[in-house]
Chain A
């Protein structure tokens, strides 16, 4: 009798060890198998202690030592059982929680330590005819242990029952049933045998709790054989692959309703599974019509599509660029059962492409700038050379005309008129040369932080006589305390003078020029203002605006497009060279600013110059 009990525990010990290895080998990488193996090892340790407990040939010290080793098993098993149940019932949120593991392991480890160091759970061992029995200590710790053990076991049991009721998968439903049906008798018998009877000091019945656990073990073996529990099957492998794949996967029925998704799809869209399953898949496609056409019409006709680029829409409405591959699932009779869509998030690739595009734009802009500078340099060199060669003959022509004028009788008005035309032409040729030289000079800037208000006053001073002669009134609406602008004083003065002279010339009968100066936040995307690296101003950036609004003749829509073109002029008869506004635009471009012209024929023209505000550090 004595040796049989001891042998029975030894046998159980070996079976548990074997089962732990067996379960691990079934799927060594699955956490379910690993935790299950740990639980079985707890039972093995438990049995190991009882081998010595049920044989009175061992001394009390040996039994105490063996039972202390066994205590690792019977103290820790409830924690591993709860852990296993949580994995089985897919309580992933709890399992991912950082506090879960300390909660289930700190107290048992402390109890094991107290048992080893001061016998706080089992205090003494008493001889019995079949071996040894034990008495629990008077310490509160053993009561805590009972409560802990019951609490964790009952929670695990509740989770199994709850899972059984909720899951629609018949196999898993059956597995849950097997677990709780086998655990309930083990828990009841084990608690009576090893706790209640010992508390009541009824020691005549040997403690066989580790043997009762065989019932649970048999259910596990049955589950492995019958339902491939803890075993890798092709469907489990497929499920695991789908669940762990980085790409999103969505299965839809032939009318476009979502049947299932993997976690990656939920992560990408931000929806919960219950918010998306059963809904029309168009809700997650950025363009619902494109989804209907591409997936529901083209795909169903073609059977599969791959590498189709489209947009997905997250729960918050953010579009995500994706690449989708999709194929139709058909049963053996060829009836379409559904559609599988694999979605690859390409937003990072798009970002890289955008960055590359911006860098390219910037490079192109720089190249254009250098080409422009080179062009201006070439024009400059040519202009300098030409200027000298042309001015000399012009000097002779003008002096010659002056001489002829002095020699022709005043009555010869037709000759005077002809000479006057020659003179005007010489003046115009001279003006063209000067403008060409101006044009070529606009290649380098001498930048300093300056107040735009002073620049405007200086420029108005330079055109004072023209304003008076032209009977033009100036109205200034310039905000106080405008920040400084980094600019080349002479060049910007040239710009303002050019604009003012144009305005004066546009009002042959006199009129009004309104000059406004203010700071404005640039909120509208337009040429030069935006989010691209090549944009001169970032959207939302603050800039200084200077407006010159006249009440002149205005510019036709057709001419408005050409006003910055070199040599475009409507004032050739009056000595216009068509280079003034070209030079003006060049200068503003070099300042990384913008110049815009708005005009309505007959009503007037508004020229708006936008310049960058000087940063604090540069002032």
Chain B
């Protein structure tokens, strides 16, 4: 069975590593982690993720800016994005949804729920 490619963008190094371990351990995913969003377009072109897990609050380039960049990119605009952030305010969520994200998860989130949300988003992508 072909593994889904998941790109995780977050400035928390430990978070990247542990989520990567969890997702890979499930056996369903091939994971690429990015601690900085600077070269995200190139990485998306190279890795061609099926889904992107994106943090909102990051230094230099924030999550919303990343969404804007991806929306302008021919590959990026078709890649579903799930925001995984510690921010929980309605206005943060609204801003993100306006950029076309498919889901918004608030940290801390357990492995099972994360996988369930990823699967749901991938299923929606397949349906469309």
Contacts and interface: CB of A to CB of B under 8 A. Distances in A.
Interface string A387-424: 11111111111111011001100000000000000010
A519 to B, nearest CB: 35
A488 to B, nearest CB: 15
B44 interface: no
B88 A395 contact: no
Contact of B57 (A388, A390, A406): A388
B15 A399 contact: yes
B15 A395 contact: yes
B21 A430 contact: no
A392 B18 contact: no
Contacts of A434: 88
Interface in B66-118: 84, 86-89, 106-112, 114
B33 interface: no
B43 interface: no
Given A402-B112, A406-B25, A396 B15 contact: yes
A402 B113 CA distance: 11
Given A406-B25, A430-B108, A396 B86 contact: no
Residue among A399, A406, A434 with max Cβ neighbours from chain B (10 Å): A399
Nearest to A391: B86
A402 B112 CA distance: 8
A397 B14 CA distance: 9
Contacts of A398: 108-111
Contacts of A391: 86, 106-108
A437 B108 contact: no
A569 B40 CA distance: 47
A400 B88 CA distance: 22
Given A388-B57, A402-B22, A397 B86 contact: no
Query: What interface size band does chain B fall in?
Result: 20 to 34
The A contact surface, by secondary structure, is: helix
Contacts of A390: 86
Contacts of B106: 391
A402 B57 contact: no
A6 to B, nearest CB: 115
Contacts of A400: 18
B12 interface: yes
Contacts of A389: 86
Contacts of A394: 107-108
The B contact surface, by secondary structure, is: mixed
B19 interface: yes
Nearest to B15: A396
A474 interface: no
Interface string A370-387: 000000000000001001
B111 A399 contact: yes
Given A391-B106, A395-B108, A398-B110, A403 B18 contact: yes
Interface in B26-50: none
Interface residues of A, number: 24
A400 B110 CA distance: 9
A397 B18 CA distance: 9
A124 B57 CA distance: 124
A426 interface: yes
Nearest to A402: B111
A396 B14 contact: yes
A394 B22 CA distance: 15
B107 A392 contact: yes
A407 B89 CA distance: 35
Interface string A104-125: 0000000000000000000000
A392 B85 CA distance: 8
Contacts of B22: 399, 402-403, 406
Interface in B1-30: 12, 14-15, 18-19, 21-22, 25
Given A391-B106, A395-B109, A437 B88 contact: yes
A407 B12 CA distance: 23
A399 B14 CA distance: 10
A394 B106 CA distance: 11
Contacts of B12: 392, 395-396
Interface string A423-437: 100100010001001
B93 to A, nearest CB: 14
Contacts of A402: 22, 110-112
A390 B107 CA distance: 9
A407 to B, nearest CB: 8
Nearest to A427: B108
Contacts of A396: 12, 14-15, 18
A387 B86 contact: yes
B16 to A, nearest CB: 9
A391 B107 CA distance: 6
Nearest to A387: B86
A251 B18 CA distance: 97
Contacts of A395: 12, 15, 84, 86, 107-109
Nearest to A384: B89
Nearest to B19: A399
A592 B68 CA distance: 45
Nearest to B112: A402
A390 to B, nearest CB: 8
B24 to A, nearest CB: 10
Nearest to B55: A392
A493 B108 CA distance: 26
A355 to B, nearest CB: 45
Residue among B19, B107, B112 with max Cβ neighbours from chain A (10 Å): B107
A392 B109 contact: no
Given A387-B88, A388-B86, A388-B87, A397 B111 contact: no
A241 to B, nearest CB: 78
A493 to B, nearest CB: 16
A462 to B, nearest CB: 18
A392 B111 contact: no
B109 A403 contact: no
29 contacts: A387-B86, A387-B88, A388-B87, A389-B86, A390-B86, A391-B106, A391-B108, A392-B15, A392-B86, A393-B14, A394-B107, A395-B12, A395-B84, A395-B107, A395-B109, A396-B12, A399-B18, A399-B108, A399-B109, A399-B111, A400-B18, A403-B22, A403-B111, A406-B22, A406-B25, A407-B25, A423-B110, A426-B108, A437-B88
Given A391-B86, A398-B111, 16 more contacts: A387-B86, A395-B12, A395-B84, A395-B108, A396-B12, A397-B108, A399-B15, A399-B109, A399-B111, A399-B114, A400-B18, A402-B111, A403-B18, A403-B21, A403-B22, A403-B25
Top 5 A-B residue pairs of the complex, sorted by shortest distance between their CB atoms:
A402-B111, A391-B86, A395-B107, A394-B108, A395-B108
Interface of B: 12, 14-15, 18-19, 21-22, 25, 57, 84, 86-89, 106-112, 114
